[in-house]
Amino acid sequence: MTPDPSRPPSPNLRTDPLGMGYFSIPFEKFIHEEGKNLNGLTLLDTLETFFDARIDLLQRDIAKRTDQLKVHTDKLKMRAESALNDMFKGKPPSPEALSENFDREVAKLRLKLNERVARLSVAWQSAKVIRMREKISFFYGVNLLLFTALLFGCAPQYLHISYTVQLLYMVPYRFWVYKRQNWHYFLFDLCYYVNFLNLIYLWIFPGSPALFIASYCLSHGSLASAVITWRNSLVFHDHDKVTSLFIHIYPPLVFTVIRHFYPGAEERFPALKELPHLDAVKALVLSSVIYLVWQLLYWKLILTDRRKKIESGQRATSLTYLLNHQRGAIGKMLAKVKPERRELYFMLGQFVYAILTEIPCIFLLYESKFWSIVFLHVIFDFSVWNGAGFYIEVFGRKFERELEKLRKELAEANSALQSNRTSPTLALSDLDSSGPPSPSLDAKVFEDSNAALVDPSGVGAARVKKDQ
């Protein structure tokens, strides 16, 4: 190997005559003095020496840290013993005292967790979050309506799939929301029972004529008419109202499509082959039996087994809701009945109502495509009308409150301005003529603000803008 002439030679290195490479002077001295033992120095001995030293240093570091940890632990023990001695005045704590101390710490932890949950609930209910939820609900509701219309017109054979997917999303979400508010007993009502029955027919027993008759009659009877009796509203920004409308109006839409608009329906749903026409007696009997199964389950599981929670007000049901909100005819009639007979009369009334609402679908809707469309259109129109009333009443009252607030502010400003004009301590010479003129509130603007209050439609406000 030729040395580089540009680099000066190292003073501590020289070439080994034996051709062993470059070594430092002390190491060469070791080679000459211990030449006989050099042949016994193997690579394994070198590695053992190197790692022994490193392991020894590591063990010393671990021992040092262990001693420090032990000292820290002893200090903690001394502090704990001192705290216990101060608490119990030198007496050893009894098991009861330790249990009380443990319960106290658990209570503190629960309090902290409740505070965190409360803070999260406040954040969830904040105005910003509520506005975002309403926007998402509005977006979802409008697109759901558009998607349903397109699906009905372009591919009606997929409408029952859309119904299933959306139902599997909406019902669990509603259960989660209602469970937090102790309203989850509402999910044992007939409408959810019928929707569950519909899924069983659509995906498990599509060839059962009895199940098809029961699902068809109950969907077009109790569920569809509930849009009118329970005042379901098409309010897009309210997810709860969108869900309520969906579970009542979508089932009759799906079974109308299966009966009249589904291409090749008898292949997908073989039960239709045996049902070219509905036998009125058979249809009423089958739907009544299915209904009574639900009514017995509801009476046993809800009205009997959980009576104490309902009577104490911890849980709400359809009956308690009607009694507490006596706005409709049903609630007012139930309020006049003796308390011990209300449940019986309520169940009997529901059964008679279910039978009566099934008569049109048996004698008219099942045979006629035209009247089925008219029926769905009427039910949908009721939901739109209820939604329009909600928007006009709620936002109209809000607008009236804003106008009332504005009228009070204008009246206060007018009174303050009049007092400043008639004040003897304020002269015209005191005013700064170089500044811009102060806006005046004359009687015309005040009268127009009152006119806007009387006419919330905005005519008064338009007159103000026109006069200005």
Sign of the torsion angle spanned by Cα atoms 284, 290, 294, 296? positive
Residue 276 φ/ψ, nearest 5 degrees: -65, -25
By mean pLDDT, which of 63-77, 112-126, 201-215 is the weakest? Answer: 112-126
SS3 45: helix
| Nearest-5° Cα angle at 218, 213 to 223 | 150
Average pLDDT over residues 88-104: 65
- Which residues lie across from 24 on neighbouring strands? 13
One-letter amino acid at 307 equals R
Please state, rounded to an integer, the average pLDDT across all residues of the chain. Answer: 78
pLDDT number for residue 101: 72
pLDDT greater than 90 at residue 197: yes
Residues 437-459: pLDDT tens digits?
444 444 444 444 444 444 444 44
Is the Cβ–Cβ distance between 211 and 205 less than 8 Å? yes
Average pLDDT over residues 425-438: 44
| DSSP, residue by residue, 134-188 | HHHHHHHHHHHHHHHHHHHHH-GGGHHHHHHHHHHHHHHHHHHHHHHTT-GGGGG
d(CA 431, CA 424): 14
pLDDT number for residue 339: 87
pLDDT greater than 90 at residue 61: no
pLDDT number for residue 44: 53
Is the Cβ–Cβ distance between 270 and 202 less than 8 Å? no
Burial, 351: exposed, middle or buried (Cβ in 10 Å; 0-12, 13-18, 19+)?
Answer: middle
d(CA 238, CA 134): 6
Retrieve residue 140's tokens. Answer: 């979802």
pLDDT band at 431 (very low <50, low <70, confident <90, very high): very low
One-letter amino acid at 201 equals Y
pLDDT number for residue 445: 42
Closest CA to 342 of 320, 373, 363: 320
Q: Other CB atoms closer than 10 Å to residue 222's CB: what's the count?
A: 26
Number of separate helices (H) and strands (E) present in the chain: 19, 2
pLDDT greater than 60 at residue 273: yes
pLDDT greater than 80 at residue 429: no
Residues 104-157: pLDDT tens digits?
777 777 787 777 767 766 665 666 677 788 899 999 999 999 999 999 999 999
Higher pLDDT, 110 or 35: 110
By mean pLDDT, which of 222-231, 242-251, 322-331, 349-358 is the weakest? Answer: 322-331
Q: Other CB atoms closer than 10 Å to residue 226's CB: what's the count?
A: 21
Higher pLDDT, 243 or 23: 243
